[in-house]
A and B are shown apart, each in its own frame.
Chain A
Amino acid sequence: MKNIRTDKLSILLIGIGNCGRNDDGLGWQFVDMVNSKGPDQLCLEYRYQLQVEDAQLVSNFDIVLFADATHDVLPHGFDIKPCPPVNHYYFSSHAQSPGTILYLAHELYQKKPEAYTIAITGYNWGLGTSISEAALTNLESSYHTFLNIFLPALKEVYAITG
C-alpha cells in the first residue's frame, strides 16, 4: 500500500476554524476532544485557514484528516469523506482548500497522503466563543463516529498498531 513508510502510520489531524466566531470553532473543538480523550497516536494542529505552506506539513504524514465547520446542513449533522487533491486556487493568499493543499503536496514534495475531511454542521457564525447547542450535538455525533467507526476502520485497513 502506498505511503506506508514504517509499520506504524503517521496520522495528522488539522482543526480549521476560529474559536472566536461561535460555531466556526467546531474544527478546533474536535481537535480538543481528540487531545483530551481520544487516541494518542495522532499529531494535532490548529489553523485559522489552510495556507500554501501547509503542503509541506501534510507531506510528512501518511494520513491527513481535516476537521472543519460547514454551513451545509448535513443529514446526520456531520460527514466524513475522502478528500482528493484538487488543482484549484482561491484568490486570497491565506485561505486554501484541503484539496489544493494536497495537490501542492504532490506537486512540490511528491507526497500523496490519504486524506479525509470531517465536516460538522454549524449554525451560528457571529462573534463569541460559545458553540450553539445544535452544533455541539453534531460535534458529539461526529466524534463518536470518528472514534468508534472511522478510526477502527482506518486501523484495520492500514493495520495500524496501538
Chain B
Amino acid sequence: MTRKITIDPVTRVEGHGRVTIHLDEYGQVKDSFFHIVEFRGFERFIQGHPYWEAPVLVQRLCGICPVSHHLAAAKAIDQIAGVDPKDLSPAATKLRRLMHYGQVFQSHALHFFYLASPDLLFGMDAPVEKRNVVAVAVENRDLAVKGITMRKFGQEIIKAVAGKRIHGILAVPGGVHKTFTMQERDYFLDGKQIENIDTMIEWSLAIIQFMKDYHEKNRKLMDEFAAFPSGHLGMVNNAGGLDLYDGKLRAIDSEGNITLDDISTDLYEEYFSEAVAQWSYMKFPYLKKIGRENGWNRVGPLARINMCSFITTPLAEKERQEFIAFTGNKVNNSTLYSHWARLIEVLHCAEEMKLLLNDPELLGNDLVRSGTPRLKGIGIIEAPRGTLTHHYEVDEKGMITRCNLIVSTTHNNDAMNQAVKWVASNVISNSGNITEGMLNQVEVAIRAYDPCLSCATQAMGKMPLKAELYNHNGDLINEKYKNG
C-alpha cells in the first residue's frame, strides 16, 4: 500500500510549515511537498496607506527580519520621493548599510548557533531532547556564549542606529532621521562595555574553522546530502563583488553559466514571474526566459557565494577562495554547504561593520535628500535569507495602490521542495521503519535554507510549524506535531 508521511510542524525554522510524503504500494516515495499554510495578505493590507508609512508597516511582517523589510521598503520609497540610491547622502547610506550588516550578522548568528548547530554537534539521529540550543549550552558552553554574544552585537548595532532591537526606525523617505554619535560609535570599538568589533571578526574566523573541521570529518555527508542542480541568484556591485545592500541582480545556472546578467533592480519585473500551487500559499518565482520548470533559483548565502565574482572584504574573500576550491571553482549545489557560506557572510558583515564604524562619514549630519516625486519605487536588498524585493506604486496623493513583495524564502520555495524530495527518496524510501532521525533529516534539509515562513506568506498570528505519511489510498498512517 502507499503511505504518506507528514512533518508538522517543521521545527527550528521561523514560521509554520508542513511536510507531506506520499509512498506507493512498494514503499517508494511517489511525491513530497513542503506546504506553507499560513495566511497571506500583507500586500493587500498595505494598499491605501501613504507611501511613507511603508517602511514602518512592513516591519510587522516579521519579528526576525524587520530590518530587512524596513530597508527594502525604504529603498523603494526613496524613489517615490524622487531619490535614487546614488543620491542619498553618504551618512544616510552608511548608516543604513551599518544597520543592514548588523541585521545579517545577528540573523546568521541566530540561525547557526540556535537552530543549525545542534544538528552539526549531535548529528541528525541524535535524540530529540538534544537537538536544541539548551543542549548546545550544556555540552559546548564556549560555542553557545560566542553565539549569544555575536547575536547581541548585531542587535546592539541595530538598537544604536534605530532606537530598538526589534521594529526600530532609521529610514525616512530620502534618508535617515538620526545621526550617529562618536559615543555610540566608540561603544562598538573600544571594548569597554561589550566585546568589540575586532573580537567579532576573531570569533567569526573561529566559527568558520569549526565549520571547516566539521567538513573535514563529514565531507561525504556535506557533498551528497540534498545535493541537486539549481540556479543561484543574488546581488553584486558594478565590479561583480558581493553587495548585500545595493547593486545589480545576477543569476547563474547549476554549471555557472550566466542566466541574468547584472541587470538593474528596477527591471526585475521584465525578468521574473511568479507561479502559484494549490497546495501552498507561498509563490514560486522563476526567470521568464528559462520558464517555470527550470527557471527557479536558490537565494541566500550559498547562492551568493556561488554567483559573486569576489567578496569585497579581504578575510571573507580569502575564505570564499578556500570554499570554492573544494568544488574546483565550480558551482556548489550541495544544501549543507549553506551553513559554511552563511558563516563566510558573518565574517564579511563583521569586516564591513568595522570599516563603517571607522569611517568619519558615518557621523555626518546631512541626513535627508529630496527630489521630484514619482509614482513607482522598487527596493531590492540581499536579506539574510536572500534576495528581497519590495515594489510599491502610488497615486498622485502618495497613497499606495499596489504592493508586490517577493521575499527570500519564496525564491527558495522550489529548492526546499527539492531538498525534501531528496531526503524522502534517499532516506525514507524502502525503509521498513520511519525513525525520528529520518524525519529530522527532512527538517535539516529545510532548515539549511533558514526559511522565514512568516515573511514568505506575510502571515499573522501564531506560527508553530506541522509532518504526515500517507498510503497509496490517501490514508494518513503517521503524523508528527512538534511544538515543545
Contact = CB atoms under 8 A, between A and B. Distances in A.
Contact of A52 (B64, B114, B135, B166): B114
Report the interface size class on chain B: 20 to 34
A102 to B, nearest CB: 12
A89 B482 contact: no
Nearest to A91: B11
Interface string A49-66: 100110110000000000
B148 to A, nearest CB: 5
B115 interface: yes
Interface string B80-118: 000000000000000000000000000000100011000
Interface string A97-113: 00010011001110000
B483 A91 contact: yes
Interface in A69-103: 87-94, 100, 103
Given A48-B166, A52-B133, A108-B148, A91 B141 contact: no
B137 interface: yes
- Max chain B C-beta neighbours (<10 A), residue from A48, A53, A103: A53
B254 interface: no
A90 B141 contact: no
A124 to B, nearest CB: 15
Given A48-B166, A107-B137, A107-B141, A92 B151 contact: no
Given A53-B148, A56-B148, A93 B110 contact: yes
B137 A53 contact: no
Contacts of A90: 483-484
Nearest to B463: A92
B237 interface: no
Interface string B141-162: 1001100110110010000000
A107 B12 contact: no
A53 B151 contact: yes
B9 A56 contact: no
A109 B135 CA distance: 15
A108 B141 contact: yes
B152 A100 contact: no
A56 B153 CA distance: 12
A52 B14 CA distance: 15
- Interface of A, secondary structure class, is loop
B280 interface: no
A55 B148 contact: yes
Nearest to B482: A91
Contacts of A104: 134, 137, 144
A101 to B, nearest CB: 10
A109 B114 CA distance: 17
Nearest to A110: B141
Contacts of B114: 52, 93
Interface residues of A, number: 20
Given A48-B63, A52-B114, A108-B141, A91 B12 contact: yes
Interface in B110-131: 110, 114-115
B18 to A, nearest CB: 14
A73 B102 CA distance: 42
B149 A56 contact: yes
A89 B166 contact: no
Given A52-B114, A55-B148, A107-B141, A94 B133 contact: no
Contacts of B484: 88, 90-91
Given A56-B149, A94-B64, A89 B144 contact: no
A109 B144 CA distance: 11
Interface in B460-474: 463-465
A107 B133 CA distance: 12
A35 to B, nearest CB: 16
B312 interface: no
Contacts of A109: 145
Contact of B134 (A48, A53, A88): A88
B132 interface: yes
Nearest to A105: B137
A100 to B, nearest CB: 7
Contacts of B464: 91-92
A40 B465 CA distance: 42
Contacts of A108: 137, 141, 144-145, 148
A80 B69 CA distance: 39
A89 B12 CA distance: 11
Contacts of B63: 48-49, 94
Contact of A89 (B133, B152, B155): B133
B12 A93 contact: yes
B276 interface: no
Nearest to A107: B137
Interface string B6-18: 0001011010000
Contacts of A48: 63, 166
A48 B64 CA distance: 12
B14 A93 contact: yes
B152 A56 contact: yes
B325 interface: no
Given A90-B484, A94-B64, A104-B134, 8 more contacts: A48-B63, A49-B63, A55-B148, A91-B12, A91-B482, A93-B12, A93-B133, A107-B134
The 5 A-B residue pairs with the shortest CB-CB distance in the complex, in nearest-first order? A89-B132, A91-B11, A89-B134, A53-B148, A107-B137
Interface of B: 9, 11-12, 14, 63-64, 110, 114-115, 132-135, 137-138, 141, 144-145, 148-149, 151-152, 155, 166, 463-465, 482-484
Interface of A: 48-49, 52-53, 55-56, 87-94, 100, 103-104, 107-109
7 contacts: A49-B63, A90-B483, A91-B132, A91-B464, A93-B14, A93-B115, A107-B137
